[in-house]
Amino acid sequence: MKVLLTGAFGNIGSSALEELLSRGYQVTCFDVKTKENVKTARQFEAAADIVWGDLRNKRDIAAAVNRQEVVVHLAFVIPK
């Protein structure tokens, strides 16, 4: 099953990502490209597809959702 995981490289998202991969799901990770997220993503780049983008950008979301069967939405915007 093809799964889009938003917020894939945060604390909860990376735990969910590990679980989804261990169960054999084909995962596409969607997250904001920050130094910390890029560092976390390196450990998963061989096992999952990575799409960098912003939840507030409709084009980014549309591209990420394309051809997915399920969306696990764990991303959020932290107010400043």
What CATH number does the domain containing 62 carry?
3.40.50.720
The answer to the question of residue 9 being in a domain is: yes
Q: Confidence band (pLDDT; 50, 70, 90) for 76?
A: confident
The answer to the question of residue 80 being in a domain is: no
Instruction: List Cα–Cα distances, 53 to 13, 23, 24, 45, 57, in angstroms.
Output: 15, 26, 25, 16, 8
Helical residues (DSSP H) of the chain, grouped into ranges: 11-22, 35-41, 58-65
What's the domain count of the chain?
1
The answer to the question of residue 78 being in a domain is: no
Q: Confidence band (pLDDT; 50, 70, 90) for 7?
A: very high
Angle subtended at Cα 49 by Cα 48 and Cα 50, rounded to the nearest 5 degrees: 115
Q: Confidence band (pLDDT; 50, 70, 90) for 80?
A: confident
pLDDT at 78: 76
Q: What is the pLDDT of residues 22-73, one digit of tens each?
A: 999 999 999 999 999 999 999 999 999 999 999 999 999 999 999 999 999 9
Closest among 44, 37, 38, 39 to 17, alpha carbons compared: 44
Bridge partner list, 5: 29, 72
The answer to the question of residue 64 being in a domain is: yes
The answer to the question of residue 43 being in a domain is: yes
Per the structure, the complete domain to which residue 56 belongs is given by: 2-73
